[in-house]
Amino acid sequence: MKALIFDCDGVLADTERDGHRVAFNQVFAENSVAFEWTDSAYQQALKVGGGKERLRALLSPDFTTRHDLPNDAAELEALIASWHRRKTQLYVDLLDSGAVRPRSGVRRLSCEALEQGWRLAVASTSAHASVRAVLNRAMGAELAEQFSVFAGDDVQRKKPAPDIYLLALKQLGVRASDTVVVEDSAIGIQAARAAGITAVIATPSTYTIHEDLSAAAIVVSELGDAGVSTHCAGTNVIGNLIHDVVEQRHLQALLEIGVAPEEASNHADNK
C-alpha cells in the first residue's frame, strides 16, 4: 500500500495570506484589538506551526497589557481557544465565498494516485474544520471523501515535530518508504523527514517562496495542470523526468529511488 499525503495551507490552496491572515484580523477587529497582521508580519508568524500556537506567541505579557487583555494564564488560554474557534468560522466563510483558489495539479494528481490504488490524506497543523473546508474546495466533495484528514487537533506537538506524519502513517497503515508528501514550507519538510519520509515534493507558496526548501527530494513551482506548467528548481534524476506537470509515475519514481535529496543529485550525475 502506498500513500500520497498533502499539507493543507499553501499546498492545496494558497490560503495563508488571503484566508487565515484575513480571518485572524477580523477576529482582532471584532474584539476591539487595535492590531493587524500585515503581510510581512504574518509571514514571520508562520514560523510557528498551528493557529492557536501562533496566537499564543503573539499574546505576550506586553501585548496583553497594551490591549487590555487578561494576563491570567487560564483566562488567556480560554481567550485563545475562543478567538481560534471564531477565526475558523470566518475562514470557512471566506473559503465558501470563493476568496481562495485551489493550486494547480492537486486534484489531477490525487485522481491519478487514487486510480493506482494509493491512499490519500492531508496532514496539517490547522483545525479539522478548516482542513475539510479547503479539501472540499480544492477537490470537490466527492473526491474529498476519499481523503483521511489528520489535523492540528489530533496531536500535541505541531510541525516541525513529526507527530502529525507519524500519526498519519500509523492510521493509514503505510510505511514511510511507501509514502510521498507534498509540502510548501521548511518546517513541513522537516516534519515529514523526521517521520522517516524522504520522498517529499516541495511546492513553494506565497509566504514560503524564499525559504530554503532544499531538504525536499524535489522542488517544483506547481504540480501543474493543462495551461499551468511547472518548473523544477535544481536538477536531479526525478527533475529530469518532469515535463510540464508532476504525474503519478513521478511519485512512483521517487519511491523507487528511496534516497535523500543530495543522493538523488548524485544519482543523476552518475547516469
Backbone φ and ψ of 57, nearest 5°: -70, -35
The residue annotated as part of the active site, out of 7, 163, 184, 225, is 7
Question: Which one from 9, 14, 184, 225 is the annotated catalytic residue?
Answer: 9
Cβ–Cβ under 8 Å, residues 185 and 160: no
Please give the Cα distance from 134 to 20 (Å, whole number).
11
Does the annotation count 163 as an active-site position? no
Collapsing DSSP to helix, strand or coil, 34 comes out as coil
| CA-closest candidate to residue 136, choices 127, 147, 150, 126 | 147
Q: How far apart are the first and last CA of the chain?
A: 29
Separation between Cα atoms, residue 156 and residue 72, nearest integer Å:
22
Closest CA to 108 of 271, 250, 245, 267: 245
Which residues are known to be catalytic?
7, 9
